[in-house]
Amino acid sequence: MQFEFQPQGEGFLSARDAETLARKNWERVAENLGLDQSLFTSKIIRSRINEGSPRIVMRINGPDHPQFVFKMGLNPSKADVLKHEVAAQKYATGLFLNDDKFHVPEIIHVDEVNQILLMEHVEGLTAHDNLLLGKSSEGRANVLCQCGQWIGKLHERSKIRENIVNPNAVIKHLRSMKEKVDTGVVRVAGRKKYLSYVPKAIEMAETARGKITTLATAHGDMNLRNIVLGPKGVSVFDFNDTKILPIGHDLARFFVAFGNFFFPNGSKSTDWFETDLNSFFEGYGPQHRFDPSFTYLMGVQILNDWAKIPKKKEMRNNLHVRRWAGLQTLAQLVFE
């Protein structure tokens, strides 16, 4: 059965209508699974309506504790995305089977037609929220170390082989972006500074050429909101796709997402970033601290995220403002 979905013009459902639809669809899923609706309540924990991958996320509470997470995509043109996400999460579940400390939540139910995923709820706080609530450098170091441990296990258990760095595709992408910004096809904040950094990113890629990195399964969206630290260990979800990539892709994605939000305001010292890197790689594996793919992909990820910041200040929300400040800080650390 296909559930009703009525996009509005070129946009999507209103937030209220989308949330109503999500609850209705949860009721239908529960009925199909033979669950007694009277024993459960639902709470919206994320409502993203007008961005690239709009979705509703609900926590489904059982009689005594949270039991499931219900996700519903809202973009019919991206129906295949869920299929890839589920395949990647199921693969990763196998890698962490019977592990007492590192986990991937179990998938309970999938409806690809209606972009619905029901999975096990994991007790704890996201790494992002842990860092927001952190009151000491020791707490920050511990969170980063635990994140490093889980990502390290993923890459270790899915390792394909050692591989020679070939940055041709990345350099082509960087040159294409520079041309688009040069010609005004793409408008970016801080255009002059952005254009000055692209050649430096290309130079970093060329420096990495021919060096040895590791190929492994990538998570694809390795950010701190997809990592939960709880009493039973570390759990990760929201996989992007099952792709074999240099480990630097996940590492760069994680550290740019971390650094562009949790940089210390007003700090003129760069010691904080080295300290954070050391904390993470204590868990991930110190031998990978200077992996060549990570070193140059950090610069690429910074520029990719930079291009997503609205050029006009009035178009930026609070998250854009924070990330814009963080990206400029990271760019100085990496490029200057």
**Domain co-membership, 24 together with 140:** no
* Segment 22-56, tens digit of pLDDT: 999 999 999 999 998 889 999 998 887 766 678 89
167 and 281, same structural domain?
A: yes
- Of 70, 87, 120, the residue that ends a domain is 120
Of 100, 120, 140, the one marking the end of a domain is 120
The CATH number linked to 213 is 3.90.1200.10
Question: Mean pLDDT over residues 296-319, rounded?
Answer: 95
C-alpha span between 205 and 202 (Å, rounded):
5
Please write the tens of the pLDDT for every residue from 155-184: 999 999 999 999 999 999 999 999 999 999
Domain-located, residue 4: no
Confidence band of 5 (pLDDT split at 50, 70, 90): very low
181 and 256 together in one domain? yes
Residues 71 and 156 in one domain: no
38 occurs within a structural domain = yes
Q: Is residue 205 part of a domain?
A: yes
Domain assignment of residue 235, yes or no: yes
Find the domain containing 154 and state its range: 125-335
Structure-token match 């990592």, residue found: 227
| pTM for this predicted structure | 0.91
pLDDT in tens, 209-260: 999 999 999 999 999 999 999 998 999 999 988 899 999 999 999 999 999 9
Indicate whether 303 and 316 sit together in one domain.
yes
Could you say which of 97, 120, 143 is where a domain stops? Answer: 120
Predicted pLDDT of residue 182 = 95
Residues 294 and 260 in one domain: yes
Residue 165, domain member (yes or no): yes
Mark whether 131 and 269 lie in a shared domain.
Answer: yes
Which residues face 73 on adjacent strands?
A: 55
Residue 290 has pLDDT above 70, yes or no: yes
How many domains does one find in the chain?
A: 2
In a domain, 9, yes or no: no
Instruction: Identify whether residues 217 and 291 lie together within a single domain.
Output: yes
| Banded pLDDT at 268 (limits 50, 70, 90) | low
Q: What is the C-alpha to C-alpha distance for residues 122 and 129, in angstroms, rounded to an integer?
A: 14
CATH number, residue 72:
3.30.200.20
pLDDT for 4: 41
Is residue 10, in this structure, part of any structural domain at all?
Answer: no
Query: In the chain, what percentage of residues exceed pLDDT 90?
Result: 76
- Statement to judge: residues 159 and 33 lie in one domain: no
| Domain co-membership, 133 together with 115 | no
Mean pLDDT of 271-296: 96
Residues 75 and 28 in one domain: yes
Q: Is residue 304 part of a domain?
A: yes
DSSP state of 282: H
Helix (H, G, I), strand (E, B) or coil at 48: strand
User: How far is the CA of 235 from the CAs of 16, 110, 125, 137, 229, in angstroms?
Assistant: 30, 20, 10, 23, 7
Judgement on whether residues 188 and 159 belong to the same structural domain of the protein? yes
How many CB atoms neighbour CB 157 within 10 A? 15
Residue 325: exposure state from Cβ atoms within 10 A (0-12, 13-18, ≥19): middle
